[in-house]
Structure 1
Amino acid sequence: SAPAPRRQIQRIVALVGNARALSIAHEALAVEALGGLLVPDGSRRRTPGGVFFHLVKQQVTRRQHWLLFRRAPSQRRTAEEYARVLTWANRMGAVQEAQMQKGEVDDVKITLVGRPGAVAVRKNCVLTAMRSTRGPSLPNGLPAIPTTPTTYTVYIALKQWHTVAEALADPDDALIVEGWAAFDPELEGIAVFATYVTTKLTKAKEPGATQ
């Protein structure tokens, strides 16, 4: 290896210890065997050494990160690097970087507002499909929402459905569904398990609703 990376490896071993450094090196080899990682802009694969350094950055403490990877003024990012914009097309490098260490979700709530499609009624629940074709205005800095429509298959308990079915006969009303969202790999879409359903006009009539 080149002198600079070799010195960096020596600093890592000195700071985290031989066993920890070797464990991260084995993890880097495993990542390489699975296809490696892309650089943040997605333009190319990281080198094996780059994967190792990336894993070190993910796993050391904040102070260790500062000691190992702080930059001298001459090494700081250039204006061109700062100007690199994440777009939907080049997101995969950043996605891979983020997914190296996943957090945990304690609660998920998705809200769908719109007209249901065809309704399949079963003994215990009903199913309907809804598709989003446009998104909201997003905060500056976020990539544009992909134009491919997203299909949501909505599962509603029969008792809940009975509370909104009559109201939805009005074509000017809209279904409101709150629930848990999960990816359905067979449909390649989102499954929504309703925990609360109402309609726009019903909600507008509730006490305290804003007129």
Structure 2
Amino acid sequence: MADTCVARVPVFASLSPDDQHRVETLARPTHLHAGETAYSADDDVSQLMVLHTGRLKIFRLSADGSEQLVRVLLPGEFTGEASVFTGQRPDSYATALDESRLCVFRHDDLRALITQHPDIGLRMLAAVSERLSDTERRLGSLTSRGVEGRLADYLLGLPSAWRDGIATVTLPLAKKDVAALLDTTPESFSRALKGLAAQGLIVVGAGRSVSITQPDRLQRLVDVVA
């Protein structure tokens, strides 16, 4: 059980090993190759998808057909809770960014599971509430800060490795996708990176590595327009 999606997902963490095993029997293992679609808007599905390994990109399509990135799921996170709870069809698309494994729970199975273990439903609600709070914070950042401020806030929120007062982070997505998350263009994103680097706040390393050399000053840049 130690390496299953049920064992590693926070909403199932409170269950005993025996109960986790029972949940595991309800899961439908799904394997996706990079670029493969997990679901599309208006699919006639009602299911919870829990990511075990890999990354899943959630996005919407605008009227002109361009992608609007909503979020990227990492291992242990889930999507599809809205369609499961409301019965509505999804309004977004999900595509695997990497080779990914998922556990899929059908609506009826999940409903029976929550009836038997109400704390799972409460944990799901808590996770969704946290996601909504993060979305509200992002929207507030988009309306109150320029691109440099939004980028600074994003970098400070990434997992970091500290050494000698310097925090090194790795962008989890391609720069164009991070730009989409920050509601800006790749060109403006690149200018913002160069601008923060010119101020001595960051050093852009190889690949997707960024070193935050002045974390306190970078935080002040965020706070000044918060």
- Check whether TM > 0.5: no
Say which one has the larger Rg: 1
Structure richer in helix, relative to its length? 2
Bigger relative contact order, structure 1 or 2, given CA contacts below 8 A and separation 6+?
Answer: 2
Q: Classify the TM-score, shorter chain.
A: under 0.3
